[in-house]
C-alpha cells in the first residue's frame, strides 16, 4: 500500500520483493565457506518534520504540489525557500531523496506566478537529470511557466521557441558556455527578467570541471548584470563537507547553507562485501604467486542475478563503462539459464549511448519493464528512480559523497533499503571494508576546485572577452590579481588587445574551451561494415580503450578496433567475440618545474609544486579471459601526451632507506609499491579517485637527486587534489601504510600494492620495503611538524 507523506511525492509502481534483511541473508547464503560480509551497518529510520507552507507561497503552486501528494514542506525545504525568497543565495545540502527539488520549485514557481515576465534558469551536470526535472515540472502543470530543456539534444526548430517563450529553461553548464552566453543578445529578454538560477547537484562540480563551471557562472552573472538583473542563486547538493564555502567558491558569492535534513527516511541496511579468494592452483603455490580475489564485476553480476530472481528491483553501480557492460551481460546470461527470457529485463546504462537509447532505457526502468540496471555514475544524480529496493556498488566510487548518493537511490518514499559495497581487489577498497569507521564514522569530503588554475582562468577570460570587452572591474569578479596577471599574459601573447574601453578578443572564432577536461572532441565509435555510430569515447580515454586491436564493449556486444584515427576523431570497429581481453601499457616521464611549498624533515623532504609529465601508450597485452594468462604484448604507435600540472612528492636519503632495512637493489620496488598504495588511498582525503591522479617513483630522480615518489593531478594546471594531499600528508600516508601492512598477502597483491593502471605491469614491487619507506617518512615528518611548512623562494 502506498503512503502519502509531506514533502515527497507518492511512490509509483514500486515492486515488492524480499525485504533488505531477507535479501542480504539470501545473498550471503550463496557464498560457501567464510562469509564475504565484513561489516553490516544498520541505519535507523527517521521521522520527518513538516512545517506550514510559507505565507508568500502562491496558492497555485501549493495546489499543484498538493495534487502530487505533497501536503506540507519539510523543515529544511521551507528554510532554504525562505532564504531564496529573501534574495539570499543558499545551498541546500541534504541526503538523497530529501526533496531538494521542492526547495527551489517553491520560490521559483511563485516568482513566475507573481510576475508573468520573470524567468528562471536551471543547471544540471547531466542531460538525464534535466530531463527528469522537466518531467516533474510538467506534471505540476503550473500555468504560464512553459518549462523546456535546452541542450545538445534539443532540435534546432525548437530552440527559437524556447528563447522567446519558455520562462523556466533547463540546461547544463556546457550549453550555457557554448550557446547561451556567446549568443546572449538573442537571450536578452530572458536574461533581463532572470530571477533565480538553480544549480542542481553542485557537489559534482569539482576538480577542473568545477573550476571551469565556477567561471561560467561568473560569466553568467556578468552578462546578466549587463541586462540589469542580479538573480538569486539556489544550489542543491548531496551532503558534503563545508557546503557554504564550496558553493561560495563556485559562484563567487556569499552563500548560506541549510544542512539539517528533516525528511523521513526508511531504515537502511548497508553491508560491506569482500569477494572471496579464488582457489589456488598447485602451480601458483609452487611459483609463490600472490592470492587473487574473485573480481568485483563477477561478484556484482551474481548478486544482481540473485536480487532479480528474488523479485527485488535493483540498481548496480559500476565504475567504468566497460564494467557496466560486462555486469549487465553476465547477469543476462545467468538469468536466461534460470528463466529463459528473464535476461531481457536487465540492461546496461552509461554515457556514450545515443540519446534515443538512453531515453528508452530510462522509460523502461520507470515503467517496470526493466527489473535491474548495471549503470555507471550516469544514474547517480537525482533522477527519480522510483521503486528501487536495493543498490549494489561495484567498487568504492571515489568519495563518501558519491557512496551515499548511490546508496540513496534505493528506499524511495520512506521504504526500507539494502545497499551493498562490493570491494574491488584494490588498496582503498580493501582498507574500507576492514575499516568501516572510515565510511560510517566520518563526514563526507569537502568539494575541491581551483578557479585560479591558469589553464582554466586564461581560456575563460578569453570567452568572457568574446561576450563583452573585459574591464578592470570585471577582473575582480574573476579573481582579482590572478585574473589581471592572466589578462596581461594573454595580451602579450596576442590573444587579447587592450583598448581604452577594455580588453578585446582578437580572433575571428570563439576560444575552443573544453569544460570537462576530456582533451578535445569525443571519439566516434563506428561499425566498419555498416557505418553505424555505436557511441562515443572521450579523448582522454581513447588511447587506452580504442587503440588499434583493443576490445570494445557496447550493450553487451564485443567489438575489435580496426583503426583509431585521432585526427578525424573516429575509431572503426567490427563485431567479434575473442577469448581474450586487452590491457594498454604506457611509459611516463616527469620533471620538476617549480616548488610552491616544502617541509624539510632532515633526510626526508615533502614538496608541493608544478611538474611537467609526458605519458605515452606504447603497447598492449592480450590476456586470456578467465585465467588472465598473457598471450602476447603488441607494440603501438600513439603520440605522447604532455601535461603541466601540480604534484606532491616526498624524497628520502639513500642512507635513511638503508638504515630502514631497504637495500639499494630494492629501492625501485619499495618506492613503486608505496606509490601505488598512496595513489589508491588519496581518495580518502580528497574528492577524487585514482583515475584522476597519476604517479611516478624512481630510485634517483634527475631533479631531486634522491629516491622520490611523485603523485600528481591528471589535469592541466592541477585540480586541487595534490594540494589536499600535501595538507593531509601525515594522515594520508599513515592510512597508506596501514593498508599495506594489514593485507594478508606475502609479497603484494591487488588489495595492497598492485595497481590496475600500472604501465609497467606491476613490476617491480616490494611490499615489505614499501612499509619501511612509509615508516621512515612518517617518523621524520612527525619530528618536523613543529617547524611547519616552508615556502620555496625560487624555482627548483
Task: For residue range 93-147, list pLDDT tens digits in order.
Answer: 988 778 899 999 999 999 999 999 999 999 999 887 898 899 999 999 999 999 9
pLDDT at 792 over 60: no
pLDDT band at 244 (very low <50, low <70, confident <90, very high): very high
Q: Strand pairing of 708-713 and 693-698?
A: antiparallel
Reported as type and span, the H/E element at residue 637 is none
Give the least confident one: 339-353, 388-402, 403-417, 711-725.
403-417
- What local confidence, expressed as pLDDT, does residue 255 receive? 97
Give the Cβ contact number of residue 31 at 10 Å.
16
Looking at the chain, the number of H-run helices and the number of E-run strands are 26, 28
Average pLDDT over residues 285-313: 80
Among 34-38, 250-254, 630-634, top mean pLDDT goes to 250-254
pLDDT at 317 over 90: yes
pLDDT at 572 over 60: yes
Spatial CB neighbours of 95, under 8 Å, sequence gap ≥ 6: 238, 239, 261, 263, 265, 404, 408
Cα separation, 115 vs 192, whole angstroms? 13
Spatial CB neighbours of 380, under 8 Å, sequence gap ≥ 6: 317, 397, 402, 405, 406, 409
Average pLDDT over residues 12-20: 48
Average pLDDT over residues 173-182: 95
SS3 24: helix
- What local confidence, expressed as pLDDT, does residue 590 receive? 95
SS3 content of the chain, % helix, strand, coil (to 5): 40, 25, 40
Provide the strand spans (E) within 296-380. 314-318, 346-349, 372-375
pLDDT at 13 over 70: no
Higher pLDDT, 694 or 290: 694
Q: Round the average pLDDT of the chain to a whole number and report it.
A: 86
Q: Using CB atoms within 10 Å of the CB of residue 117, give its burial: 0 to 12 exposed, 13 to 18 middle, 19+ buried.
A: exposed
pLDDT band at 586 (very low <50, low <70, confident <90, very high): confident
CA angle, 298 then 299 then 302, to 5°: 85
Amino acid at each position: 500500500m502506498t503512503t502519502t507523506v509531506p514533502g515527497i511525492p507518492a511512490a509509483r509502481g514500486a515492486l515488492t520483493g524480499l525485504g533488505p534483511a531477507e535479501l542480504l541473508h539470501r545473498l550471503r547464503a550463496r557464498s560457501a565457506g567464510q562469509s564475504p560480509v565484513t561489516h553490516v551497518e544498520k541505519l535507523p529510520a527517521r521521522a520527518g518534520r513538516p512545517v506550514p507552507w510559507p505565507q508568500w507561497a502562491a496558492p497555485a503552486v501549493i495546489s499543484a504540489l498538493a495534487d502530487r501528494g505533497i501536503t506540507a514542506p519539510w523543515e529544511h525545504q521551507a528554510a532554504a525557500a525562505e532564504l531564496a525568497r529573501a534574495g539570499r543565495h543558499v545551498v541546500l545540502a541534504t541526503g538523497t531523496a530529501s526533496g531538494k527539488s521542492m526547495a527551489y520549485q517553491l520560490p521559483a514557481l511563485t516568482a513566475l506566478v507573481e510576475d508573468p515576465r520573470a524567468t528562471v534558469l536551471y543547471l544540471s551536470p547531466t542531460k538525464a537529470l534535466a530531463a527528469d526535472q522537466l518531467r516533474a515540472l510538467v506534471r505540476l502543470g503550473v500555468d504560464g511557466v512553459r518549462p523546456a530543456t535546452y541542450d545538445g539534444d534539443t532540435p534546432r526548430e525548437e530552440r527559437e521557441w524556447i528563447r522567446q517563450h519558455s520562462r523556466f529553461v533547463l540546461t547544463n553548464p556546457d550549453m550555457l558556455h557554448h550557446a547561451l552566453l556567446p549568443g546572449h543578445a538573442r537571450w536578452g529578454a530572458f536574461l533581463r527578467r532572470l530571477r533565480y538560477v538553480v544549480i542542481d547537484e553542485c557537489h559534482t562540480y569539482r576538480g577542473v570541471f568545477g573550476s571551469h563551471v565556477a567561471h561560467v557562472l561568473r560569466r553568467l552573472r556578468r552578462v546578466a548584470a549587463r541586462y540589469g538583473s542580479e538573480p538569486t542563486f539556489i544550489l542543491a547538493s548531496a551532503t558534503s563537507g563545508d557546503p557554504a564555502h564550496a558553493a561560495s567558491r563556485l559562484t563567487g558569492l556569499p552563500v548560506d547553507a541549510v544542512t539539517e535534513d528533516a525528511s523521513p527516511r526508511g531504515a537502511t541496511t548497508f553491508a560491506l562485501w569482500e569477494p572471496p579468494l579464488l582457489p589456488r592452483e598447485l602451480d601458483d603455490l609452487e611459483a609463490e604467486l600472490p592470492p587473487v580475489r574473485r573480481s568485483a564485476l563477477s561478484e556484482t553480476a551474481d548478486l544482481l542475478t540473485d536480487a532479480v530472481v528474488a523479485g527485488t528491483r535493483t540498481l548496480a553501480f559500476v565504475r567504468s563503462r566497460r564494467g557496466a557492460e560486462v555486469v549487465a551481460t553476465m547477469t543476462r546470461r545467468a538469468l536466461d539459464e534460470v528463466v529463459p527470457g528473464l535476461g531481457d529485463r536487465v540492461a546496461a546504462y552509461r554515457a556514450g549511448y545515443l540519446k534515443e537509447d538512453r531515453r528508452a532505457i530510462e522509460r523502461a526502468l520507470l515503467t517496470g519493464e526493466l527489473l535491474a540496471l548495471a549503470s555507471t555514475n550516469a544514474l547517480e544524480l537525482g533522477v527519480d528512480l522510483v521503486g528501487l529496493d536495493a543498490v549494489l556498488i561495484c567498487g568504492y566510487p571515489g568519495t563518501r559523497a558519491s557512496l551515499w548518493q548511490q546508496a540513496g537511490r534505493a528506499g524511495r518514499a520512506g521504504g526500507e533499503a539494502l545497499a551493498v559495497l562490493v570491494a574491488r581487489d584494490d588498496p582503498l577498497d580493501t582498507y574500507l571494508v576492514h575499516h568501516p569507521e572510515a565510511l560510517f564514522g566520518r563526514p563526507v569530503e569537502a568539494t575541491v576546485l581551483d578557479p585560479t588554475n591558469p589553464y582554466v582562468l586564461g581560456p575563460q577570460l578569453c570567452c568572457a572577452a568574446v561576450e563583452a570587452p573585459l574591464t578592470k572591474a570585471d577582473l575582480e569578479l574573476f579573481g582579482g590579481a590572478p585574473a589581471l596577471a592572466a589578462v596581461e599574459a594573454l595580451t602579450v601573447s596576442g590573444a587579447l588587445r587592450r583598448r581604452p574601453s577594455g580588453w578585446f578578443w582578437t580572433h575571428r572564432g570563439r576560444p575552443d574551451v573544453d569544460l570537462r577536461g576530456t582533451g578535445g572532441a569525443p571519439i566516434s565509435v563506428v561499425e566498419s561494415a555498416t557505418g553505424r555510430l555505436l557511441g562515443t569515447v572521450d579523448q582522454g580515454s581513447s588511447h587506452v580503450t580504442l587503440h588499434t586491436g583493443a576490445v570494445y564493449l557496447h550493450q553487451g556486444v564485443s567489438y575489435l578496433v580496426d583503426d583509431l584515427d585521432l585526427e578525424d576523431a573516429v575509431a572503426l570497429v567490427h563485431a567479434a567475440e575473442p577469448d581474450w581481453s586487452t590491457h594498454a601499457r604506457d611509459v611516463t616521464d616527469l620533471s620538476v618545474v617549480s616548488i610552491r611549498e616544502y617541509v624539510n624533515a632532515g633526510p626526508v623532504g615533502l614538496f608541493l609544486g608544478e611538474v611537467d609529465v609526458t605519458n605515452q601508450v606504447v603497447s598492449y597485452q592480450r590476456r586470456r579471459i578467465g585465467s588472465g594468462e598473457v598471450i602476447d604484448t603488441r607494440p603501438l604507435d600513439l603520440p605522447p601526451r604532455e601535461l603541466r600540472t601540480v604534484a606532491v612528492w616526498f624524497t628520502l636519503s639513500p642512507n635513511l632507506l638503508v638504515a630502514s632495512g631497504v637495500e639499494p637493489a630494492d629501492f625501485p620496488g619499495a618506492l613503486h609499491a608505496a606509490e601505488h598504495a598512496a595513489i589508491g588511498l588519496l581518495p580518502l582525503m580528497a574528492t577524487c579517485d585514482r583515475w584522476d591522479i597519476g604517479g611516478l617513483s624512481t630510485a634517483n630522480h634527475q631533479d631531486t637527486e634522491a629516491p622520490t615518489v611523485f603523485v600528481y593531478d591528471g589535469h592541466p594546471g592541477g585540480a586541487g587534489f595534490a594540494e589536499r594531499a600535501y595538507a593531509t600528508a601525515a594522515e594520508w600516508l599513515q592510512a597508506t601504510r596501514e593498508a599495506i601492512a594489514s593485507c594478508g598477502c606475502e609479497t603484494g597483491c591487488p588489495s595492497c600494492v598492485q595497481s590496475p593502471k600500472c604501465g609497467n605491469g606491476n613490476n617491480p614491487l616490494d611490499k615489505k620495503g614499501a612499509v619501511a619507506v612509509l615508516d621512515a617518512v612518517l617518523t621524520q615528518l612527525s619530528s618536523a611538524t613543529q617547524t611547519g611548512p616552508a615556502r620555496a623562494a625560487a624555482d627548483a
